[in-house]
Structures are given as C-alpha cells and as structure tokens.
Amino acid sequence: MASRPRFTWMLSALAGMALLAACASWPEGQGGQSGGEGGGLLNWPGPVVDSREVARSGALSWPEGPEAEAPPSMPAEPGDGSAVVQAALSVKGRPYRLGANGPRAFDCSGLVEYAYRQAGIQVPRTTTRQFREAQPVDRTNMREGDVIFFAVDGISISHVGIYGGNGRFLHSPSPGSRVSWASLEKQYWASRFAGVGRFD
C-alpha cells in the first residue's frame, strides 16, 4: 500500500513531460524564449498538439478531488460572455487533470467546454477544434467569455483560457495546478499569445 502514492507521483511526473507540447504551461515568468508575438499565429497552418490525444492512451491519471456538484446551467444571452466567466469562476480552485472536463477536475480545453456548456452553449471539446472552429476576434475587441489561445512552445497552439476582462483570463494550466486567474500582461503569456476566438 505504501508504494501507491509513489506510483501516482511517477505517473504525474511522466504526464508533466508529455504535456510539454500539449495543454500545459510553465509557471509564469519561466520557460524559454518564444517567437510568438501579438497574435500572428492565429492563421498558422502548422500542427496543433492536443492533450486529449495523449489522454486516449489511458495510461495517465490523477486522483480526483472531493466530490463536487456541478453548478446549474445558466442560459446565456446572445453575445453575453459573463455567464461563461461565472461558470468558470464557480470551479476556480479545482485541480488540473489531463483529459478531464469537470466538474471535479479539468484540463485547459475541458474548462472551456465545461464553462460554455454550463452557459447553454455547445463548443468543441479539444483545443484543436476550439481553435479551428472559433470565430477569430481582434485582440483590441476582446470581451468577457472569449477564448484565448497560446503557443506554449512558440510554434503550435497548445493552451487555451477564458477571457474575464481587465487583461485577465481563467485557465487550468498544468499538472499540480488548479483553475486560476492569469494576466495577459505577464511576459510569459504575452510572448506566447496566439489569438482570440469567440463562440456565440
């Protein structure tokens, strides 16, 4: 029995390495240099890495947190992203787990899908499809509820969050982290910003 926590830790460590190019992000202010600037990658045709593909192997898992009830669905008015933000806020502090889309744990695209679903809007489940199917929005026209895409490695789209206004976004970053706020003004995220999308 004593070996199980160690085994779980080893799985988490392996998953962390697998997520280097997937739906993960390094702690703010760390990581290598990136060539991504100001949204030039939005129409980039290269490969998109998605954590859901890794999750399908079934080899990686984390213990889930305490049982939690999903908040009731909140029908959204057309063009009103506040319901999406409120749904994401209702699960702030829940742990990251690869392939999870709530209500007890989330990966980055799982949080987006969950928040929109609670607001009565169906969106794709994976980062890949969210990026491809969202309506592109100029950064100067962002509004609450828009989805923000990042190229963590500076090349391919690999992370997504929900814009909450005032230059901040909600996301589920990586193993060992929880759903939390982050700032677009931080150099780490500013240098990896790849574009904004909208689902109405």
- How far lies 127's CA from each of 14, 42, 151, 165, 166, in Å? 21, 13, 11, 21, 24
Rounded distance between C-alpha atoms, residue 182 and residue 5, angstroms? 30
Which listed residue (52, 94, 125, 171) is catalytic?
171
Q: Does 144 qualify as catalytic in the annotation?
A: no
What is the distance between the alpha carbons of residues 16 and 165, in angstroms, rounded to a whole number? 30
The angle at the Cα of 109, spanning 103 to 112, to the nearest 5 degrees, equals 65
CA distance to 33, 69, 78, 98, per residue, from 107 (Å): 24, 18, 26, 5
Whether residue 171 lies in the annotated active site: yes
Number of CB atoms found within 10 A of residue 129's CB: 16
Q: 85, 159, 173, 182: which is the annotated catalytic residue?
A: 159
Residue among 87, 83, 119 nearest 103 (CA): 87
- Check if 108 is active-site: yes
Give the active site residue among 76, 108, 160, 182: 108
- Residues carrying an active site annotation: 108, 159, 171
